[in-house]
Chains A and B, each alone.
Chain A
Amino acid sequence: MYPEDQLIPISALQHWLYCPRQCALIHLEQAWSENRFTAEGRAMHARAHEGPDESRAGVRITRGLPVRSLRLGISGQCDVVEFHTGGRILPVEYKRGKPKSHRADEVQLCAQALCLEEMQGTAIPGGCLYYGERRRRTEVNFDAELRDLVASTVQAVHACFAGGITPLAEYEARRCDACSLIGICQPQSLRFRRGAAAWFDQRLRASLLSSGDLP
């Protein structure tokens, strides 16, 4: 069981699966930088959390519900949770884009469900991801494999935060060029990772021999 002040945000799991360094930059180093994607995502979540809870026939809908699991050591907020009469609980997470090849969105949703299971004492077999670009829900089944993936991701993030060490960057064009933190991360600079000292000495010698071609 984790004490409350050691809970990590559920959003960190998704960052970790996208890129462990991004996760550490945001949560350990408190770095943040917006680009179009993050701004749109933030606006969409704000909308998803807006508005009062509603009740329709057979279902009560809550928005922005805070949840936590002391067993896993995570906490966060659910965009939308539907409580159906008869006891069915259905978490729904809103995403700006479309379904992705990696499982970050499913892990985030399942982590919310695990929190709800612990707090409500009931089983939650599945939830839904709502993708803004295609404007429809995708059902997610919380099977053993996904639950294991959540648990192992949670463990990895806890270990990283406890150690306080930001993983090194591995530049990968498709992932890095879309990341709003690329300017802070400077992944390309790490081609000199173990060679900044050598680079500097070599460049200094060259400068001390050259003759005034300043930009």
Chain B
Amino acid sequence: MKRHLNTLFVTLEGAYLRKDGAAVEIRHEGETKLRVPLHNLEGIACFGWDIGASAALMAACSEAGVAFSFHNPHGKFLAATRGFTSGNILLRREQYRRADDEACAVAIAANMLAAKLANSRQVLMRTARDHGGSSPARATALGQAADSLAVRAGLLGRATTLDSLRGIEGDAAATYFGVFPHLLVNHDPGVFITGRSRRPPLDPVNALLSFLYSLLMHDCRSALEGCGLDPQCGFLHRDRPGRPSLALDLMEEFRAFLSDRVALTLINRRQITAGDFRREESGAVLLKEDSRKEVLVAWQERKQVEITHPFLDEKVTIGLLPHLQARLLARHLRGDLDAYPAFLAK
């Protein structure tokens, strides 16, 4: 069993990572800052423009199945290392065949999106239940949005084309982000959201969400690579060179359950406030460097939480979910399962 281990996040500009025996050593300005045994890690993610690593370390990570990736300081994925262990060609070929067959692609993508909508709905319902009593307007808005997501989740199962799936999903996303302000309770008024904006994020909540989605992307991508699936060949997201479409597909089930909930917890507990963001002249809003560390800690803590996997009926940590779902997807592609059982939080 793959165990859920820690991801090492490196945010120190000017750091150099090298292999030291069976450990990774982080050097900075001629000093050793940290040494961690590789077998304690499942990933290394670097966030910065001036962070380097030795070829020996990258090779050792590939060999040991430790995902090694470079991101810009705000979490945007830049590059990842890859070794010679190229996984299973039979599985990948089947993946390409299914992606080329619209009916097969729709069947997989519909379950992923249904899970996304159901999991998003659970987040709305939870806030409606916990904080709706004090605000009838909030309770009404969240309840209506939740009903609308439920209806759309039902429509997904009857859709026969990818375009119709995308249409339903687009409407659902607009509904969900439309009521997102109602999910912010007890928050610093300087931390707000005005619709979904990504390139670049135009308000603090979007800046925080974008950063958390990039962490989720790192995990989904390495989960897929670990199972021998091609992260670039998606079912819902179509091929575009350089875009990890299947990782984007797999993320859908987890966005609300993992990333959004970490964001909401940080904001609602005022662990993240307006002072943690910087506004650029263009209007882009970015999370400050020191604040990113707070987010990374919360992310790691969330991943340690144990739940019972709904399909496998086993106790697992939340951090393992992308790996388990990637395996189930591979099992479906190889014919063991008659459908892809996407992750349903409840």
Which residues does chain B contribute within 8 Å of A214, judged by CB atoms? Answer: 122-123, 126, 257, 261, 345-346
Give residues 182-215 of A contacting B (CB, 8 Å). Answer: 182-184, 186, 188-190, 192-197, 199-201, 203-204, 207-208, 210-215
Are A200 and B88 in contact (CB-based, < 8 A)? no
Are A212 and B125 in contact (CB-based, < 8 A)? yes
- Report which of B87, B338, B344 forms a contact with A196, defined as CB distance below 8 A: B338
A65 CA to B115 CA, complexed, in Å: 54
Instruction: Tell me, rounded to whole Å, the shortest Cβ–Cβ distance linking B260 to chain A.
Output: 11
Are B150 and A208 in contact (CB-based, < 8 A)? yes
B242: interface (CB < 8 Å) = no
B328: interface (CB < 8 Å) = yes
B-contacting 9-mer, from A51-59, A123-131, A147-155, A162-170: A162-170
Which residues does chain A contribute within 8 Å of B307, judged by CB atoms? Answer: 215
Q: Is the interface of A mostly helix, strand, loop or mixed?
A: loop
Are A215 and B305 in contact (CB-based, < 8 A)? yes
Are A192 and B88 in contact (CB-based, < 8 A)? no
A110 CA to B335 CA, complexed, in Å: 34
Known: A212-B122, A214-B122. A207 touches B88 (CB 8 A): no
Are A207 and B341 in contact (CB-based, < 8 A)? no
B157: interface (CB < 8 Å) = yes
Are A200 and B305 in contact (CB-based, < 8 A)? no
Instruction: Tell me, rounded to whole Å, the shortest Cβ–Cβ distance linking A178 to chain B.
Output: 13
Which residues does chain B contribute within 8 Å of A197, judged by CB atoms? Answer: 338-339
Which residues does chain A contribute within 8 Å of B115, judged by CB atoms? Answer: 204
Known: A30-B87, A212-B126, A212-B128. A207 touches B335 (CB 8 A): no
Are A203 and B344 in contact (CB-based, < 8 A)? yes
Are B311 and A204 in contact (CB-based, < 8 A)? no
A6: interface (CB < 8 Å) = no
B111: interface (CB < 8 Å) = yes
A165 CA to B94 CA, complexed, in Å: 11
A208 CA to B156 CA, complexed, in Å: 13
Are B88 and A204 in contact (CB-based, < 8 A)? no
B334: interface (CB < 8 Å) = yes
A212 CA to B345 CA, complexed, in Å: 10
- Report which of B88, B310, B328 forms a contact with A203, defined as CB distance below 8 A: B310
Which residues does chain B contribute within 8 Å of A208, judged by CB atoms? Answer: 118, 121, 150, 153-154
A156: interface (CB < 8 Å) = no
Are B125 and A30 in contact (CB-based, < 8 A)? no
Which residues does chain B contribute within 8 Å of A189, judged by CB atoms? Answer: 311-312, 328, 331, 337
Which residues does chain B contribute within 8 Å of A195, judged by CB atoms? Answer: 338
Which residues does chain A contribute within 8 Å of B88, judged by CB atoms? Answer: 28-31
B59: interface (CB < 8 Å) = no
Among B118, B328, B332, residue most surrounded by chain A Cβ atoms (within 10 Å)? B118
Interface size class of B (residues with CB under 8 A): 35 or more
Among A165, A188, A204, A213, residue most surrounded by chain B Cβ atoms (within 10 Å)? A204
Instruction: Tell me, rounded to whole Å, the shortest Cβ–Cβ distance linking A55 to chain B.
Output: 37
A30 CA to B92 CA, complexed, in Å: 12
A33: interface (CB < 8 Å) = yes
Instruction: Tell me, rounded to whole Å, the shortest Cβ–Cβ distance linking B257 to chain A.
Output: 7
Give residues 321-346 of B contacting A (CB, 8 Å). Answer: 327-328, 331-332, 334-342, 344-346
Which residues does chain A contribute within 8 Å of B153, judged by CB atoms? Answer: 204, 208
Give residues 135-183 of A contacting B (CB, 8 Å). Answer: 164-166, 168-169, 182-183
- Report which of A164, A196, A215 forms a contact with B340, defined as CB distance below 8 A: A196
Are A166 and B328 in contact (CB-based, < 8 A)? no
Instruction: Tell me, rounded to whole Å, the shortest Cβ–Cβ distance linking B18 to chain A.
Output: 25
Known: A30-B228, A192-B311. A186 touches B328 (CB 8 A): yes
A183 CA to B330 CA, complexed, in Å: 13
Are A168 and B336 in contact (CB-based, < 8 A)? yes
- Report which of A164, A211, A215 forms a contact with B129, defined as CB distance below 8 A: A211
Are A186 and B327 in contact (CB-based, < 8 A)? yes
B199: interface (CB < 8 Å) = no
A212 CA to B149 CA, complexed, in Å: 14
Known: A29-B334, A200-B111. A207 touches B228 (CB 8 A): no
Q: List 9 A-B contacts (CB under 8 A).
A: A30-B85, A188-B314, A190-B336, A196-B337, A200-B341, A208-B118, A212-B128, A212-B130, A212-B346
What is A's interface to B at a CB cutoff of 8 Å? 28-31, 33, 164-166, 168-169, 182-184, 186, 188-190, 192-197, 199-201, 203-204, 207-208, 210-215
List of 10 A-B pairs having minimum Cβ-Cβ separation, nearest first: A183-B1, A212-B125, A212-B126, A197-B339, A196-B337, A215-B307, A196-B339, A207-B118, A208-B150, A29-B88
Given contacts A166-B335, A204-B118, A210-B125, 15 further A-B contacts (CB under 8 A): A29-B228, A168-B336, A182-B1, A186-B331, A188-B312, A193-B336, A193-B337, A196-B332, A199-B341, A204-B153, A207-B344, A207-B346, A211-B128, A212-B346, A215-B346
